[in-house]
A = this chain, B = another copy of it.
């Protein structure tokens, strides 16, 4: 399949003082920079824009290749010419969340007031704050209404936040492998990750920039994460009880699965900031899409179509949580479709099961987009 050509990350800065952004917590921050990428071309009527929302460890680089880089963006199999999010037809945007560490303003950014990294002085960030920043970006591009918002895992939470915060700004939504709110188990796993970081003496209350970073703690958090992203069966298929003969001391790595977890943990440390991990997981845990009457009412104002996707072996965001989203959408009078994809990949399936997702999403978007074109034909067809 054809890939996108070379792509590059762009940056949008807004909320310049004194017009700083008011966050959900009531705290203010500014200026804010949001890293983003775009693929495909925005049409003249600006009706073909799709916003892709990333998961905990994702970033703005969703598809294509950066110059001199052999590894494509994190959802490259889904975004490109003739792919699920077809860049020959649609204008696809992906931005890094506020609080992140991949180009957007976050705890590792320099606080202009002090000239030093924010660290823990960075304000608490919520999923709705992430979405609010995306709205500024989309408005800056002159887009009145998005054709679709789509994403898996935390990306799916952002989809739900778009639906309840800006119901009139979205024509359709695709929440994948996600939940209205974290269960006790999901919070528990995140807390283990945070605690691993905080327990690392190098963390130093978040003031580790320019010094030794809490690499062990962050790697450990990622190791726990990886177990929850896979399934019992996918781990068994991939590693089973294979020994790793390179390591034979009593306490170092003895099984292949251990080596893999260490490898994934250590690579993560090179590209992710420990404080961002804490802030973002906290945002996920605090999120409750329908926490009050206002949010429930907002959802009823959403008039678009919704496609909800879950995966059978996903035990971190189990299908029952997606079915709850289906239920509240139905109650809100929303036109919703639900599909549970057979997969053994666990939560990772949203990144790996591209064929089935492509089929579903392509048809869904085609229908939504042709609806808009029909509207236009009808509008301009009058005298």
Q: Which residue of B lies closest to A230 (CB)?
A: B185
- Stretch of A34-42, A148-156, A238-246, A335-343 with 4 or more beta carbons under 8 angstroms from chain B: A238-246
Rounded to whole Å, the gap between the CB of A253 and the closest CB of chain B is 8
Interface-centre pick from A192, A216, A217, A239 (highest chain B CB count, 10 A): A192
Query: Are A250 and B187 neighbours in the complex by a CB distance under 8 Å?
Result: no
Confirm or deny: A8 has a beta carbon within 8 angstroms of a beta carbon on chain B: no
Confirm or deny: A82 has a beta carbon within 8 angstroms of a beta carbon on chain B: no
Confirm or deny: A364 has a beta carbon within 8 angstroms of a beta carbon on chain B: no
List CB contacts (< 8 Å) of A176-220 with chain B. Answer: 181-185, 187-189, 191-192, 194-196, 198-201, 216-217, 220
- Stretch of A85-93, A255-263, A375-383 with 4 or more beta carbons under 8 angstroms from chain B: A255-263
A232 touches which of B185, B200, B278 (Cβ 8 Å): B185
A285 touches which of B201, B255, B282 (Cβ 8 Å): B255
A220 touches which of B181, B196, B241, B254 (Cβ 8 Å): B196
Query: Are A182 and B251 neighbours in the complex by a CB distance under 8 Å?
Result: no
A183 touches which of B184, B236, B251, B253 (Cβ 8 Å): B236
List CB contacts (< 8 Å) of A222-280 with chain B. Answer: 223-224, 226-227, 230, 232, 235-236, 238-241, 250-251, 253-255, 257-258, 261-262, 278
Confirm or deny: A288 has a beta carbon within 8 angstroms of a beta carbon on chain B: yes
Residues in B neighbouring A166, C-beta threshold 8 A: none
Confirm or deny: A56 has a beta carbon within 8 angstroms of a beta carbon on chain B: no
Query: Are A195 and B220 neighbours in the complex by a CB distance under 8 Å?
Result: yes
Query: Are B124 and A258 neighbours in the complex by a CB distance under 8 Å?
Result: no
Residues in B neighbouring A216, C-beta threshold 8 A: 199
Query: Are B184 and A318 neighbours in the complex by a CB distance under 8 Å?
Result: no
Confirm or deny: A315 has a beta carbon within 8 angstroms of a beta carbon on chain B: yes
A257 touches which of B187, B201, B220 (Cβ 8 Å): B187
A-B contact pairs, 28 of them (CB 8 A): A182-B241, A183-B236, A183-B240, A183-B241, A184-B239, A184-B240, A184-B241, A185-B232, A187-B258, A188-B226, A188-B235, A188-B257, A191-B223, A191-B257, A191-B261, A192-B227, A195-B220, A195-B223, A196-B196, A196-B220, A199-B217, A220-B220, A224-B224, A232-B315, A232-B318, A250-B282, A251-B278, A254-B285
